[in-house]
Homo-oligomer: A and B are copies of this chain.
Amino acid sequence: MTARLFLYDTTLRDGAQTQGVQFTTAEKTRIANILDALGLDYIEGGWPGANPTDSDFFDAAPQTRATMTAFGMTKRSGRSADNDDVLAAVLNANTPAVCLVGKSHEFHVRTALGIPLDENVENIRASFAHLKAKGREALFDAEHFFDGYRADPAYALACLHAAHGEGARWIVLCDTNGGTLPGEVRATIEAVIQSGIPGENLGIHTHDDTGHAVANSLAAVEAGARQIQGTLNGLGERCGNANLVTLIPTLLLKEPFASRLQTNVTEDALKGLLKASRTLDDILNRVPAKQAPYVGHSAFAHKAGLHASAIAKDPSTYEHVDPASVGNSRIVPMSNQAGQSNLRQRLREAGIEVEANDPRLSRILDTVKEREAKGYAYDTAQASFELLARDALGLLPRYFDVERYRVISERRRNAKGQVVTVSEAVVTIQIGAKRITSFHENHHTPDEGDAGPVHALSRALAADLGPLQGYIEDMRLTDFAVRIVGSGTEAVTRVVIDSEDDTGRQWTTVGVSGNIIDASFDALIDAITWKLVQDDAPVPA
Protein backbone atom coordinates (compact mmCIF):
# COMPACT_ATOMS: atom_id res chain seq x y z
CA MET A 1 0.00 0.00 0.00
CA THR A 2 1.42 3.39 -0.93
CA ALA A 3 0.84 6.67 0.89
CA ARG A 4 0.42 9.99 -0.89
CA LEU A 5 3.32 12.41 -0.37
CA PHE A 6 2.76 16.09 -1.21
CA LEU A 7 5.47 18.39 -2.54
CA TYR A 8 5.33 22.09 -1.70
CA ASP A 9 7.60 24.53 -3.48
CA THR A 10 8.73 27.79 -1.92
CA THR A 11 11.30 28.88 -4.54
CA LEU A 12 9.24 32.03 -5.15
CA ARG A 13 9.07 32.95 -1.43
CA ASP A 14 11.86 31.46 0.72
CA GLY A 15 14.00 30.99 -2.40
CA ALA A 16 13.73 34.72 -3.03
CA GLN A 17 15.55 35.24 0.30
CA THR A 18 18.77 33.92 -1.25
CA GLN A 19 21.54 36.49 -1.08
CA GLY A 20 21.87 38.09 -4.52
CA VAL A 21 18.53 36.80 -5.83
CA GLN A 22 15.81 39.24 -6.82
CA PHE A 23 13.07 37.82 -9.04
CA THR A 24 11.02 39.99 -11.34
CA THR A 25 7.29 39.28 -11.65
CA ALA A 26 7.85 37.83 -15.14
CA GLU A 27 10.57 35.50 -13.80
CA LYS A 28 8.23 34.36 -11.02
CA THR A 29 5.58 33.47 -13.56
CA ARG A 30 8.10 31.57 -15.67
CA ILE A 31 9.35 29.62 -12.65
CA ALA A 32 5.78 28.83 -11.54
CA ASN A 33 5.16 27.23 -14.92
CA ILE A 34 8.35 25.14 -14.62
CA LEU A 35 7.25 23.95 -11.18
CA ASP A 36 3.80 23.10 -12.46
CA ALA A 37 5.18 21.08 -15.36
CA LEU A 38 7.30 19.14 -12.90
CA GLY A 39 4.15 18.08 -11.01
CA LEU A 40 4.50 19.83 -7.68
CA ASP A 41 1.36 19.93 -5.51
CA TYR A 42 1.68 23.44 -4.10
CA ILE A 43 3.39 26.59 -5.33
CA GLU A 44 3.98 29.27 -2.73
CA GLY A 45 4.01 32.40 -4.86
CA GLY A 46 5.15 34.97 -2.31
CA TRP A 47 3.78 37.28 0.37
CA PRO A 48 1.00 39.47 -1.08
CA GLY A 49 1.32 42.97 0.29
CA ALA A 50 4.90 42.59 1.45
CA ASN A 51 6.47 43.96 -1.73
CA PRO A 52 5.32 45.10 -5.19
CA THR A 53 6.77 42.08 -7.03
CA ASP A 54 4.80 39.60 -4.96
CA SER A 55 1.60 41.63 -5.16
CA ASP A 56 1.94 41.94 -8.96
CA PHE A 57 2.57 38.22 -9.27
CA PHE A 58 -0.70 37.36 -7.50
CA ASP A 59 -2.60 40.00 -9.46
CA ALA A 60 -1.97 37.92 -12.57
CA ALA A 61 -1.00 34.53 -11.19
CA PRO A 62 -0.60 31.83 -13.85
CA GLN A 63 -3.19 29.06 -14.11
CA THR A 64 -1.59 25.97 -12.59
CA ARG A 65 -2.63 22.43 -11.77
CA ALA A 66 -0.64 22.95 -8.58
CA THR A 67 -2.47 24.68 -5.73
CA MET A 68 -1.35 28.30 -5.76
CA THR A 69 -0.59 29.40 -2.21
CA ALA A 70 -0.16 32.83 -0.65
CA PHE A 71 2.20 33.24 2.30
CA GLY A 72 1.73 35.53 5.27
CA MET A 73 1.88 35.57 9.04
CA THR A 74 -0.61 34.87 11.81
CA LYS A 75 -2.58 37.88 12.97
CA ARG A 76 -0.82 40.37 15.20
CA SER A 77 -1.74 41.07 18.83
CA GLY A 78 -4.14 43.84 19.69
CA ARG A 79 -6.50 43.42 16.77
CA SER A 80 -8.88 40.79 15.47
CA ALA A 81 -8.06 38.59 12.48
CA ASP A 82 -10.73 40.52 10.57
CA ASN A 83 -9.01 43.82 11.30
CA ASP A 84 -5.41 42.82 10.57
CA ASP A 85 -4.52 44.59 7.31
CA VAL A 86 -1.40 42.44 6.77
CA LEU A 87 -3.51 39.28 6.96
CA ALA A 88 -6.21 40.87 4.81
CA ALA A 89 -3.69 41.57 2.04
CA VAL A 90 -2.75 37.88 2.04
CA LEU A 91 -6.38 36.76 1.78
CA ASN A 92 -7.08 39.33 -0.90
CA ALA A 93 -4.72 37.47 -3.24
CA ASN A 94 -7.63 35.01 -3.47
CA THR A 95 -5.52 31.88 -3.67
CA PRO A 96 -7.16 28.54 -2.88
CA ALA A 97 -4.56 27.92 -0.15
CA VAL A 98 -2.99 30.21 2.42
CA CYS A 99 0.13 29.44 4.48
CA LEU A 100 0.64 31.46 7.66
CA VAL A 101 3.87 31.43 9.63
CA GLY A 102 3.68 31.74 13.40
CA LYS A 103 5.92 31.33 16.41
CA SER A 104 6.13 28.01 18.27
CA HIS A 105 9.27 28.68 20.34
CA GLU A 106 8.68 30.41 23.67
CA PHE A 107 12.06 32.21 23.44
CA HIS A 108 10.95 33.92 20.21
CA VAL A 109 7.53 34.81 21.58
CA ARG A 110 9.26 36.52 24.49
CA THR A 111 12.29 37.98 22.64
CA ALA A 112 11.05 38.83 19.16
CA LEU A 113 7.32 39.40 19.76
CA GLY A 114 7.44 40.42 23.41
CA ILE A 115 3.92 39.13 24.18
CA PRO A 116 2.61 36.62 26.74
CA LEU A 117 2.91 32.98 25.65
CA ASP A 118 -0.86 32.38 25.79
CA GLU A 119 -1.56 35.38 23.60
CA ASN A 120 0.57 33.91 20.81
CA VAL A 121 -1.39 30.64 21.01
CA GLU A 122 -4.64 32.59 20.80
CA ASN A 123 -3.33 34.58 17.79
CA ILE A 124 -2.65 31.31 15.99
CA ARG A 125 -6.07 29.89 16.87
CA ALA A 126 -7.93 33.00 15.78
CA SER A 127 -5.97 33.20 12.51
CA PHE A 128 -6.85 29.66 11.52
CA ALA A 129 -10.47 30.06 12.60
CA HIS A 130 -10.51 33.04 10.24
CA LEU A 131 -9.07 31.02 7.31
CA LYS A 132 -11.65 28.30 7.99
CA ALA A 133 -14.44 30.88 7.93
CA LYS A 134 -13.12 32.17 4.61
CA GLY A 135 -13.07 28.65 3.18
CA ARG A 136 -9.37 28.54 2.38
CA GLU A 137 -7.14 25.48 2.55
CA ALA A 138 -4.95 26.43 5.51
CA LEU A 139 -1.28 25.68 6.26
CA PHE A 140 0.58 26.60 9.44
CA ASP A 141 4.35 27.10 9.16
CA ALA A 142 5.44 26.53 12.77
CA GLU A 143 8.60 28.65 12.86
CA HIS A 144 11.54 27.37 14.93
CA PHE A 145 9.47 24.35 15.87
CA PHE A 146 12.38 21.97 16.54
CA ASP A 147 14.30 24.51 18.65
CA GLY A 148 11.02 25.31 20.41
CA TYR A 149 10.24 21.68 21.12
CA ARG A 150 13.74 21.19 22.55
CA ALA A 151 13.22 24.20 24.88
CA ASP A 152 9.59 23.67 25.90
CA PRO A 153 7.82 20.69 24.30
CA ALA A 154 4.41 21.37 25.84
CA TYR A 155 4.33 24.96 24.59
CA ALA A 156 5.55 24.05 21.10
CA LEU A 157 2.85 21.39 20.82
CA ALA A 158 0.18 23.79 22.10
CA CYS A 159 0.97 26.12 19.19
CA LEU A 160 0.53 23.29 16.67
CA HIS A 161 -2.74 22.15 18.21
CA ALA A 162 -4.12 25.70 18.14
CA ALA A 163 -3.94 25.58 14.32
CA HIS A 164 -4.81 21.89 13.98
CA GLY A 165 -7.86 22.33 16.21
CA GLU A 166 -9.20 24.96 13.78
CA GLY A 167 -8.94 22.56 10.86
CA ALA A 168 -5.62 23.57 9.31
CA ARG A 169 -4.98 21.05 6.53
CA TRP A 170 -1.22 21.07 7.13
CA ILE A 171 0.94 21.69 10.19
CA VAL A 172 4.43 22.35 8.80
CA LEU A 173 7.31 21.82 11.22
CA CYS A 174 10.07 24.31 10.39
CA ASP A 175 13.75 24.00 11.23
CA THR A 176 14.11 27.71 10.62
CA ASN A 177 17.75 28.06 11.71
CA GLY A 178 18.79 24.83 9.99
CA GLY A 179 20.63 23.51 13.03
CA THR A 180 18.63 20.35 13.79
CA LEU A 181 20.06 16.95 12.85
CA PRO A 182 18.10 13.96 11.46
CA GLY A 183 17.91 11.91 14.68
CA GLU A 184 16.22 14.77 16.49
CA VAL A 185 13.90 15.51 13.55
CA ARG A 186 12.72 11.92 13.58
CA ALA A 187 12.19 11.71 17.35
CA THR A 188 10.40 15.07 17.47
CA ILE A 189 7.98 14.17 14.70
CA GLU A 190 7.19 10.87 16.39
CA ALA A 191 6.32 12.86 19.51
CA VAL A 192 4.09 15.23 17.51
CA ILE A 193 2.18 12.31 16.02
CA GLN A 194 1.95 10.81 19.52
CA SER A 195 0.38 14.09 20.68
CA GLY A 196 -2.52 13.58 18.30
CA ILE A 197 -1.69 15.23 14.98
CA PRO A 198 -1.61 12.51 12.32
CA GLY A 199 1.33 12.24 9.92
CA GLU A 200 -1.06 12.93 6.99
CA ASN A 201 -1.39 16.47 8.33
CA LEU A 202 2.31 17.08 8.94
CA GLY A 203 4.81 18.82 6.69
CA ILE A 204 8.54 19.47 7.01
CA HIS A 205 10.46 22.65 6.13
CA THR A 206 14.25 22.50 6.50
CA HIS A 207 17.35 24.61 5.88
CA ASP A 208 20.81 23.44 4.88
CA ASP A 209 23.01 25.06 7.55
CA THR A 210 24.61 21.74 8.47
CA GLY A 211 24.19 20.14 5.03
CA HIS A 212 21.18 18.12 6.25
CA ALA A 213 18.19 19.83 4.59
CA VAL A 214 17.57 16.84 2.33
CA ALA A 215 18.38 14.20 4.97
CA ASN A 216 16.13 15.95 7.51
CA SER A 217 13.25 16.05 5.01
CA LEU A 218 13.54 12.32 4.38
CA ALA A 219 13.91 11.56 8.09
CA ALA A 220 10.63 13.43 8.61
CA VAL A 221 8.92 11.38 5.91
CA GLU A 222 10.23 8.18 7.48
CA ALA A 223 8.77 9.35 10.79
CA GLY A 224 5.38 9.86 9.11
CA ALA A 225 5.22 13.43 7.71
CA ARG A 226 3.46 13.63 4.34
CA GLN A 227 4.43 17.02 2.95
CA ILE A 228 7.90 18.29 2.05
CA GLN A 229 8.62 21.97 1.50
CA GLY A 230 11.64 22.88 -0.56
CA THR A 231 13.02 24.90 -3.47
CA LEU A 232 14.53 24.31 -6.89
CA ASN A 233 18.33 24.04 -6.69
CA GLY A 234 18.12 24.57 -2.93
CA LEU A 235 17.68 28.33 -3.14
CA GLY A 236 16.84 30.03 0.14
CA GLU A 237 17.89 32.12 3.11
CA ARG A 238 21.54 31.59 4.23
CA CYS A 239 22.62 28.09 3.07
CA GLY A 240 19.31 27.47 1.35
CA ASN A 241 16.21 25.29 1.75
CA ALA A 242 15.80 21.58 1.07
CA ASN A 243 16.68 21.01 -2.58
CA LEU A 244 13.65 19.52 -4.37
CA VAL A 245 15.87 18.71 -7.36
CA THR A 246 17.78 16.30 -5.11
CA LEU A 247 14.75 15.07 -3.16
CA ILE A 248 12.41 14.24 -6.04
CA PRO A 249 14.55 11.57 -7.74
CA THR A 250 15.39 9.96 -4.40
CA LEU A 251 11.67 9.79 -3.55
CA LEU A 252 10.77 8.35 -6.95
CA LEU A 253 13.71 6.05 -7.60
CA LYS A 254 15.10 4.87 -4.28
CA GLU A 255 13.96 2.65 -1.44
CA PRO A 256 12.47 2.72 1.13
CA PHE A 257 10.56 5.59 -0.56
CA ALA A 258 9.81 4.57 -4.16
CA SER A 259 7.57 1.60 -3.41
CA ARG A 260 5.85 3.08 -0.36
CA LEU A 261 5.03 6.62 -1.44
CA GLN A 262 3.14 8.16 -4.31
CA THR A 263 3.82 11.72 -5.51
CA ASN A 264 2.30 13.77 -8.31
CA VAL A 265 5.60 13.75 -10.26
CA THR A 266 5.45 11.32 -13.20
CA GLU A 267 8.35 9.33 -14.61
CA ASP A 268 8.14 11.50 -17.69
CA ALA A 269 8.24 14.76 -15.73
CA LEU A 270 11.27 13.41 -13.84
CA LYS A 271 13.12 13.25 -17.17
CA GLY A 272 12.68 17.04 -17.34
CA LEU A 273 14.36 17.59 -13.97
CA LEU A 274 17.79 18.53 -15.33
CA LYS A 275 16.22 21.01 -17.73
CA ALA A 276 14.13 22.58 -14.93
CA SER A 277 17.24 22.97 -12.78
CA ARG A 278 19.30 24.48 -15.60
CA THR A 279 16.52 26.85 -16.63
CA LEU A 280 16.43 28.31 -13.13
CA ASP A 281 20.21 28.78 -13.28
CA ASP A 282 19.75 30.53 -16.60
CA ILE A 283 17.14 32.88 -15.16
CA LEU A 284 19.52 33.68 -12.30
CA ASN A 285 22.60 33.93 -14.55
CA ARG A 286 24.26 31.27 -12.41
CA VAL A 287 26.81 28.67 -13.43
CA PRO A 288 25.11 25.29 -12.72
CA ALA A 289 26.69 23.41 -9.79
CA LYS A 290 28.84 20.76 -11.50
CA GLN A 291 28.64 18.28 -8.62
CA ALA A 292 24.92 18.60 -7.86
CA PRO A 293 23.34 15.20 -7.11
CA TYR A 294 21.48 13.72 -10.11
CA VAL A 295 21.56 16.83 -12.35
CA GLY A 296 25.16 18.08 -12.07
CA HIS A 297 27.37 17.93 -15.14
CA SER A 298 29.70 15.63 -13.16
CA ALA A 299 27.00 13.54 -11.47
CA PHE A 300 27.61 10.61 -13.80
CA ALA A 301 31.20 11.40 -14.84
CA HIS A 302 33.58 8.48 -14.29
CA LYS A 303 37.13 9.74 -14.15
CA ALA A 304 38.96 6.91 -12.36
CA GLY A 305 40.34 4.39 -14.88
CA LEU A 306 39.14 1.37 -12.87
CA HIS A 307 35.62 2.80 -12.69
CA ALA A 308 35.51 3.53 -16.42
CA SER A 309 36.52 0.00 -17.42
CA ALA A 310 33.85 -1.52 -15.14
CA ILE A 311 31.21 0.93 -16.45
CA ALA A 312 31.90 -0.31 -19.96
CA LYS A 313 31.03 -3.84 -18.78
CA ASP A 314 27.92 -2.83 -16.83
CA PRO A 315 26.92 0.76 -15.93
CA SER A 316 25.32 -0.41 -12.67
CA THR A 317 28.83 -1.14 -11.34
CA TYR A 318 29.36 2.55 -10.62
CA GLU A 319 25.93 4.16 -11.03
CA HIS A 320 23.20 4.05 -8.39
CA VAL A 321 20.49 5.14 -10.85
CA ASP A 322 20.18 5.48 -14.63
CA PRO A 323 21.29 9.01 -15.61
CA ALA A 324 18.55 9.17 -18.29
CA SER A 325 15.85 8.91 -15.61
CA VAL A 326 16.52 12.54 -14.62
CA GLY A 327 17.49 13.75 -18.10
CA ASN A 328 21.22 13.53 -17.43
CA SER A 329 23.85 11.48 -19.25
CA ARG A 330 26.98 9.53 -18.53
CA ILE A 331 30.38 11.12 -19.08
CA VAL A 332 33.61 9.19 -19.33
CA PRO A 333 36.07 12.06 -19.34
CA MET A 334 39.51 11.83 -20.78
CA SER A 335 42.34 12.33 -18.40
CA ASN A 336 45.73 10.86 -17.78
CA GLN A 337 44.11 8.41 -15.37
CA ALA A 338 42.13 6.82 -18.14
CA GLY A 339 42.84 3.78 -20.19
CA GLN A 340 41.79 2.35 -23.53
CA SER A 341 38.37 1.11 -22.41
CA ASN A 342 37.60 4.58 -21.17
CA LEU A 343 38.64 5.96 -24.54
CA ARG A 344 36.53 3.56 -26.61
CA GLN A 345 33.53 4.27 -24.42
CA ARG A 346 33.98 8.00 -24.89
CA LEU A 347 34.35 7.61 -28.65
CA ARG A 348 31.22 5.46 -28.79
CA GLU A 349 29.26 8.24 -27.12
CA ALA A 350 30.51 10.62 -29.81
CA GLY A 351 29.19 8.18 -32.42
CA ILE A 352 32.63 6.80 -33.34
CA GLU A 353 33.14 3.03 -33.20
CA VAL A 354 36.73 1.79 -32.96
CA GLU A 355 37.72 -1.87 -32.58
CA ALA A 356 39.48 -2.92 -29.39
CA ASN A 357 43.25 -3.07 -29.97
CA ASP A 358 43.09 -0.67 -32.91
CA PRO A 359 46.62 0.81 -32.84
CA ARG A 360 45.16 4.30 -33.33
CA LEU A 361 43.70 4.06 -29.82
CA SER A 362 47.09 4.14 -28.17
CA ARG A 363 48.16 6.96 -30.51
CA ILE A 364 45.17 8.99 -29.34
CA LEU A 365 46.00 8.23 -25.71
CA ASP A 366 49.59 9.30 -26.26
CA THR A 367 48.47 12.55 -27.84
CA VAL A 368 46.05 13.22 -24.96
CA LYS A 369 48.79 12.51 -22.41
CA GLU A 370 51.31 14.68 -24.21
CA ARG A 371 48.88 17.59 -24.53
CA GLU A 372 47.74 17.24 -20.91
CA ALA A 373 51.37 17.49 -19.87
CA LYS A 374 51.40 20.81 -21.77
CA GLY A 375 48.42 22.07 -19.81
CA TYR A 376 45.37 20.93 -21.78
CA ALA A 377 42.53 19.42 -19.73
CA TYR A 378 40.30 17.11 -21.70
CA ASP A 379 38.11 15.81 -18.92
CA THR A 380 35.96 18.94 -19.12
CA ALA A 381 36.68 19.96 -22.71
CA GLN A 382 35.08 16.98 -24.36
CA ALA A 383 34.39 18.76 -27.61
CA SER A 384 38.11 19.46 -28.04
CA PHE A 385 38.83 15.84 -27.18
CA GLU A 386 36.44 14.64 -29.84
CA LEU A 387 38.14 16.83 -32.44
CA LEU A 388 41.55 15.51 -31.41
CA ALA A 389 40.32 11.92 -31.71
CA ARG A 390 38.59 12.55 -35.05
CA ASP A 391 41.79 14.09 -36.33
CA ALA A 392 43.82 11.02 -35.30
CA LEU A 393 41.22 8.74 -36.90
CA GLY A 394 41.10 10.70 -40.16
CA LEU A 395 37.49 11.73 -39.45
CA LEU A 396 37.98 15.47 -39.11
CA PRO A 397 36.93 17.52 -42.13
CA ARG A 398 39.20 20.47 -42.83
CA TYR A 399 36.65 23.27 -43.02
CA PHE A 400 38.99 26.25 -43.11
CA ASP A 401 42.53 27.39 -42.37
CA VAL A 402 43.49 30.41 -40.32
CA GLU A 403 46.00 32.53 -42.16
CA ARG A 404 46.55 35.13 -39.46
CA TYR A 405 44.86 37.13 -36.79
CA ARG A 406 45.77 40.35 -35.04
CA VAL A 407 44.33 41.88 -31.89
CA ILE A 408 44.95 45.36 -30.55
CA SER A 409 43.89 46.59 -27.15
CA GLU A 410 44.53 50.15 -26.18
CA ARG A 411 43.71 52.53 -23.35
CA ARG A 412 43.91 56.21 -24.11
CA ARG A 413 42.10 59.49 -23.67
CA ASN A 414 39.50 60.40 -26.23
CA ALA A 415 38.93 63.91 -27.61
CA LYS A 416 36.90 64.82 -24.50
CA GLY A 417 39.76 63.71 -22.24
CA GLN A 418 37.89 60.61 -21.02
CA VAL A 419 39.75 57.35 -20.54
CA VAL A 420 38.49 54.76 -23.03
CA THR A 421 39.61 51.31 -23.97
CA VAL A 422 39.44 50.11 -27.54
CA SER A 423 39.88 46.55 -28.76
CA GLU A 424 39.96 45.46 -32.34
CA ALA A 425 40.51 42.13 -34.06
CA VAL A 426 41.25 41.15 -37.64
CA VAL A 427 41.08 37.52 -38.74
CA THR A 428 41.97 36.11 -42.15
CA ILE A 429 40.87 32.60 -43.08
CA GLN A 430 41.09 30.51 -46.21
CA ILE A 431 37.79 28.65 -46.73
CA GLY A 432 37.52 26.56 -49.87
CA ALA A 433 38.66 28.78 -52.69
CA LYS A 434 37.82 31.93 -50.75
CA ARG A 435 40.05 34.12 -48.65
CA ILE A 436 38.03 36.07 -46.09
CA THR A 437 39.19 38.84 -43.79
CA SER A 438 36.82 39.86 -40.97
CA PHE A 439 37.09 42.69 -38.50
CA HIS A 440 35.48 43.64 -35.19
CA GLU A 441 36.09 46.59 -32.92
CA ASN A 442 34.70 47.52 -29.51
CA HIS A 443 35.04 50.74 -27.52
CA HIS A 444 34.24 50.75 -23.85
CA THR A 445 34.70 52.31 -20.48
CA PRO A 446 36.34 50.10 -17.83
CA ASP A 447 33.01 49.01 -16.27
CA GLU A 448 31.35 47.68 -19.40
CA GLY A 449 31.08 43.98 -20.08
CA ASP A 450 31.14 42.13 -23.39
CA ALA A 451 34.29 43.90 -24.44
CA GLY A 452 38.00 43.30 -24.72
CA PRO A 453 40.19 41.48 -27.19
CA VAL A 454 38.74 37.96 -26.82
CA HIS A 455 35.25 39.32 -27.42
CA ALA A 456 36.47 41.21 -30.49
CA LEU A 457 38.21 38.08 -31.74
CA SER A 458 35.14 35.87 -31.33
CA ARG A 459 32.97 38.44 -33.11
CA ALA A 460 35.44 38.80 -35.95
CA LEU A 461 35.61 35.00 -36.34
CA ALA A 462 31.83 34.63 -36.32
CA ALA A 463 31.26 37.60 -38.61
CA ASP A 464 31.92 35.82 -41.87
CA LEU A 465 32.47 32.10 -42.29
CA GLY A 466 31.56 32.34 -45.96
CA PRO A 467 29.41 29.43 -47.15
CA LEU A 468 29.33 27.95 -43.61
CA GLN A 469 27.99 31.08 -41.93
CA GLY A 470 24.46 29.63 -41.63
CA TYR A 471 25.80 26.78 -39.45
CA ILE A 472 27.18 29.03 -36.73
CA GLU A 473 24.58 31.80 -36.58
CA ASP A 474 22.80 30.37 -33.51
CA MET A 475 26.00 29.71 -31.57
CA ARG A 476 26.86 31.65 -28.41
CA LEU A 477 29.85 31.79 -26.08
CA THR A 478 28.36 31.25 -22.58
CA ASP A 479 31.38 30.98 -20.32
CA PHE A 480 35.07 31.64 -20.46
CA ALA A 481 37.51 30.43 -17.80
CA VAL A 482 41.21 31.09 -17.61
CA ARG A 483 43.79 29.30 -15.56
CA ILE A 484 47.55 29.65 -15.34
CA VAL A 485 49.10 26.19 -15.41
CA GLY A 486 52.59 25.58 -14.09
CA SER A 487 54.67 28.48 -12.89
CA GLY A 488 57.69 30.62 -13.61
CA THR A 489 58.99 30.35 -17.16
CA GLU A 490 57.00 27.11 -17.60
CA ALA A 491 53.70 28.87 -17.01
CA VAL A 492 51.12 28.66 -19.78
CA THR A 493 47.54 29.85 -19.95
CA ARG A 494 44.63 27.43 -20.30
CA VAL A 495 41.39 28.86 -21.63
CA VAL A 496 38.19 26.83 -21.40
CA ILE A 497 35.19 28.06 -23.35
CA ASP A 498 31.57 26.91 -23.00
CA SER A 499 29.31 27.38 -25.99
CA GLU A 500 25.67 26.65 -26.72
CA ASP A 501 23.25 26.88 -29.61
CA ASP A 502 19.51 27.20 -30.13
CA THR A 503 18.99 23.42 -29.97
CA GLY A 504 20.08 23.56 -26.30
CA ARG A 505 23.36 21.77 -26.97
CA GLN A 506 26.25 22.83 -24.78
CA TRP A 507 29.89 22.04 -25.47
CA THR A 508 33.26 22.84 -23.99
CA THR A 509 36.57 23.46 -25.70
CA VAL A 510 40.08 24.21 -24.53
CA GLY A 511 43.08 26.13 -25.77
CA VAL A 512 46.56 26.39 -24.24
CA SER A 513 49.34 28.82 -24.98
CA GLY A 514 51.86 31.07 -23.32
CA ASN A 515 49.66 33.85 -24.72
CA ILE A 516 46.12 34.22 -23.38
CA ILE A 517 44.83 35.61 -26.68
CA ASP A 518 46.31 32.72 -28.56
CA ALA A 519 44.85 30.15 -26.17
CA SER A 520 41.43 31.80 -26.45
CA PHE A 521 41.69 31.81 -30.22
CA ASP A 522 42.35 28.06 -30.36
CA ALA A 523 39.44 27.31 -28.02
CA LEU A 524 37.17 29.48 -30.20
CA ILE A 525 38.27 27.68 -33.37
CA ASP A 526 37.56 24.32 -31.71
CA ALA A 527 34.11 25.52 -30.61
CA ILE A 528 33.19 26.49 -34.18
CA THR A 529 34.67 23.34 -35.69
CA TRP A 530 32.82 21.04 -33.26
CA LYS A 531 29.54 22.71 -34.15
CA LEU A 532 30.23 22.25 -37.88
CA VAL A 533 31.03 18.55 -37.33
CA GLN A 534 27.88 18.01 -35.25
CA ASP A 535 25.70 19.58 -37.90
CA ASP A 536 27.40 17.66 -40.71
CA ALA A 537 28.38 20.83 -42.51
CA PRO A 538 29.81 20.20 -46.00
CA VAL A 539 33.46 21.05 -46.61
CA PRO A 540 33.42 24.09 -48.91
CA ALA A 541 35.01 23.65 -52.31
Contacts and interface: CB of A to CB of B under 8 A. Distances in A.
A293 B209 CA distance: 5
Copies of this chain: 2
Interface residues of A, number: 127
Interface string A235-260: 00111100100100010001010000
A483 interface: yes
A487 B26 CA distance: 10
A262 to B, nearest CB: 19
A484 interface: yes
Interface in A295-325: 296-304, 306-307, 309-310, 313-314, 317-321
Contacts of A406: 408-412
Interface string A484-501: 101111111100000000
Interface stretch (A134-142, A328-336, A352-360, A384-392): A328-336
Given A179-B320, A211-B215, A491 B450 contact: yes
A177 interface: yes
A505 interface: no
Nearest to A377: B22
A451 B514 contact: yes
Contact of A333 (B19, B285, B487): B19
A452 B492 CA distance: 10
Given A20-B298, A211-B215, A211-B243, 16 more contacts: A19-B290, A20-B377, A179-B320, A182-B215, A215-B215, A285-B481, A289-B289, A407-B410, A446-B515, A446-B518, A446-B522, A449-B491, A453-B516, A453-B517, A454-B516, A516-B516
B447 A409 contact: no
A379 interface: yes
Interface centre among A210, A211, A487, A512 (most CB of B within 10 A): A211
A188 to B, nearest CB: 14
